[in-house]
Amino acid sequence: MTFLQMLIIAVVQGITEFLPISSSGHLILISVFTGFEDQGPMIDIAVHVGSLLAIIVYFFKDAMGLARGGFASVGIGHAPAERRLFWWIVLSTIPAVIAGFAIKLGYLNGFVESTFGIPIVEEDLLASIRFTDLIAVNLIVYGILLGLADYFGKEEKTFEQMTWRDGLIVGMAQALALVPGTSRSGVTMTAARLLGYGRFEAARFSFLLSIPAVAGAGVLIIPDLLEADSTLLFEAVITGAMTFAAAFATMAFLMNFLKRASMLVFVLYRIAMGCALLYFF
C-alpha cells in the first residue's frame, strides 16, 4: 500500500465511523472511485481499532465506568450502577453478533434470495450484496429515518437511564448496520432518538455501544497479526494511528455540534450522496 492509500482510508474511516453517514459504504466506494486494490482485513481491523482507541480516550470516564461494571460482575469491586450498564451494553451487542455469524456462515443466503430476489453467488452474503445500488438505497432510506427520528424524538433520557429494553432495541438496530450503507452510528442514533434519548446522549450511547463490537473484531485478527510480515504490520499500525487522530477530531466536533444543532445536515448529505450514486451507477 502507498502512503496516500493509507491516508485516504484512515481519514475516511475516522470521519465516517462517527458521523451517521456509513463508514463501510464510504470505504467500499474508495476502491470504486480510486481504483485502489482492496486493503485487506488487517487494515480494516486496524482502522477500527484506531476508532476504538479514540472512543476510549474521548469517553474515558464512561469507558472506565463500564470497565468497573465488568469487574464488579465477576466479584471484583462493588459498582451496582456501572455493573447494570455493563450488562445492558453486553445485551445490546448480542443481536449484531448473532446476525454476523448468520451472515458469515451463509444461513441468511436462502432467506435473502427467496424473499428479496437477490441472487447470492458467493458463500459470504455481505460479499455478494456489496454493490453501489444497495449502498445508495440504504443511504437514502436510513437517512430519512434518521431525520424523522431526530425531528419527532423527545429528549428525555440519558445514558445512565438505559434499560435492558432500550439496550436490546438499539442492539437490534445495530445489527442492521452489517449491510453497507446503513451506518452503525446512524442507525443506533436513530433508535436511541426514537426511544427518547437526546441528540448528545444518543451519540454517546451509540459510541459506547461500539466498544465491544470493535474490540471483538480486534481479538479475531490477533492470529493474523502474529503471522503478518513486518511490512504489513507497519502499514496497519500507521493506518490505525492516523485513523485515531481523524476519529478523535471528528468525535469532538460531532459531540459539540449536537449540543446546538440537529442532524439535518447529515440527513441531507445521505440523501444527496445516495441519489448521486443511483444516477452515476
Domain count, the chain: 1
DSSP reduced 3-state for 158: coil
- DSSP states of 84-112 as a string? HHHHHHHHHHHHHHHHHHHHHTTTTHHHH
Amino acid at 157: K
Q: Are 13 and 243 in contact (CB under 8 A)?
A: yes
Q: Residues with Cβ < 8 Å from 119, sequence gap 6 or more?
A: 113, 128
Q: How far apart are CA 227 and CA 192, in angstroms?
A: 40
Q: How far apart are CA 69 and CA 64, in angstroms?
A: 9
CB atoms within 10 A of CB 256: 11
Q: Are 139 and 179 in contact (CB under 8 A)?
A: no
Average pLDDT by consecutive 10-residue portion of the chain (281 residues)?
86 89 76 72 80 92 92 83 92 88 66 54 48 83 96 92 94 89 93 95 93 73 65 84 95 93 95 88 73
C-alpha distances out from residue 231 to 3, 234, 235, Å: 12, 5, 6
Amino acid at 36: F
The torsion angles phi and psi of 182, rounded to 5 degrees, stand at -80, -50
Query: What predicted TM-score, i.e. pTM, was given to this entire model?
Result: 0.85
Q: How far apart are CA 165 and CA 195, in angstroms?
A: 10
Q: Side-chain half-sphere of 79: how many Cα atoms within 13 Å?
A: 18
Q: Are 143 and 270 in contact (CB under 8 A)?
A: yes
Alpha helix segments (H runs only) across 130-198:
132-152, 164-176, 184-194
The DSSP call for residue 160 is G
Q: Are 129 and 108 in contact (CB under 8 A)?
A: no
Three cell numbers, residue 80: 451496582
Give the range of the structural domain holding residue 104, as residue numbers without chain letter: 3-280
Q: H-helix or E-strand containing 262?
A: none
